[in-house]
Structure 1
């Protein structure tokens, strides 16, 4: 399940956000560019995906383009799991809502945490920290699988980095996940040593290597 998180989410707890066809599913385009396949090695699943979109971002331990699809780019990553960690509530963290989306998108533009769309915030609980009224850091929930929720969009305005805001929000989001009786997991770029060391200090453990790969349907 953790090795195929997007499919597990879209065929399970987040099916309400899915556009699906056979053994393929994707999030609505205004929520996320991610898609999932029941079996990425199955050519039929790739054919199902082609009925939904001509461009897709997938993640998993190893991905190869199916018939009619072409790999565009790939970024190696590490999945980390928080099976034995402890979350910590943060009194300064505020819950972000749809009314905060313009601020959130502005922060995303400055901090560049990865794919984030205007309705991504619908996927789960997002927390932010404001300083002098300005949103300067955030973190939230993205893929939700049976028993697991991914922490995502951990980012801090470049002018406020080095203050531990990202760590505080990661622990605060994890605290909410653990309170529901679920376990947190997350992803980081394989070459982001700083982030990997931070997450290990917070109690996350490496699970397995993944790749984030974009594909285009060429017919």
Structure 2
């Protein structure tokens, strides 16, 4: 199994995804790019943007619109209105742990979620609020779930896809189903799938979410670096 170990791609995972494996879900102007509507709000500019690149992003998004820069290494000009700032961390699956199953021994009860599961995925997201998720976000990769008495009670899936890597995201469990190990089982199943195709898993988590950080560390993930998530309003 060949694994791309270039961690530099993780410095700008949105841009690397939009220019690569998610190009079919992207729209762009010049060196500015973002996802199609209802897929994701994440946007990117070049690694060394000049005024023209930020102007291109304004043309792409529109004036007075939300620019979700995620953990873009560059920050917009000072006259762009800040919308939010959130401290977090980027965590990766260790190279020496490949291949792996994140310590879980079974995928019992884990099912793959297709487009027909969209409404119940959105319902679970609305009740648990793990992060941004829209009606077409499931097109970014594979999403897995666990059902109880026919209802979706937990899910997790693949989001950003920089070269050699796949991000695990939207990890969430309904309040009434917590404490049963669903999140660990789903993350473990995704780790197995990702490593089996010669890639390494990574993820992002808010620094304040200490419970999630503890879970990911227990499963085997390690912190690569701190990140700052930012959103702005275009001028």
Normalising by the smaller structure, the TM-score range is over 0.9
Q: Show the counterpart of 1:77.
A: 88
TM-score by length of 1: 0.94
Q: After superposition, what is the alpha-carbon deviation per residue over 1:80-127, rounded to whole angstroms, capped at 9, x for unaligned?
A: 000244225613110000100000000001111110000000110000
Q: 1:112 aligns with which of 129, 134, 159?
A: 129
Please state how far the C-alpha of 1:20 moved relative to its aligned partner.
0.9
What is the alpha-carbon distance in structure 2 between the residues aligned to residue 113 and residue 214 of structure 1?
A: 17
CA drift at 1:51:
1.1
- The structure 1 residue matched to 2:188, chosen from 153, 156, 171, is 171
Look up the match of 1:138.
155
- Structure 1, 175-184 or 78-87: larger mean CA deviation: 78-87
Q: 1:9 to 1:66 in 2, by over 3 A?
A: same
With structure 2 as the length reference, what TM-score do the two structures score? 0.88
Q: What SS does structure 1 have at the residue aligned with 2:127?
A: helix
Structure 1 residues 186 and 48: CA distance shift in structure 2, 3 A: same
Give distance in 2, aligned partners of 1:182 and 1:145: 10
Between Structure 1 and Structure 2, the one with more strand by share is: 1
| Cα contact 2:12–2:73 (8 A) shared by 1 | no
Question: For this pair of structures, how many residues does the alignment match?
Answer: 218
Instruction: Tell me by how many angstroms 1:63 deviates.
Output: 4.9
Structure 1 unaligned spans of 5+:
none
**In the alignment, which residue of structure 2 is the partner of 1:161?**
178
* CA distances 1:157-213 after superposition (whole Å, capped 9, x unpaired): 011111110111011111111111000000000111111111011111101111111
Gaps of 5+ in 2: 1-8
Q: CA RMSD in A?
A: 1.5
Moved more, 81-90 or 191-200: 81-90
Cα displacement (A) at 1:10:
0.1
Structure 1 match to 2:141? 124
- Contact 1:63/1:211, CA 8 A, preserved across alignment: no
The 8 Å contact of residues 84 and 231 in structure 2, kept in 1 or not, is answered as yes
Q: Which residue of 2 aligns with 1:46?
A: 54
User: Is the contact between residue 158 and residue 166 of structure 2 (CA under 8 Å) also seen in structure 1?
Assistant: yes
CA contact under 8 A between 2:14 and 2:72: conserved in structure 1?
no
Counterpart-to-counterpart distance in 1, 2:217 and 2:131: 20
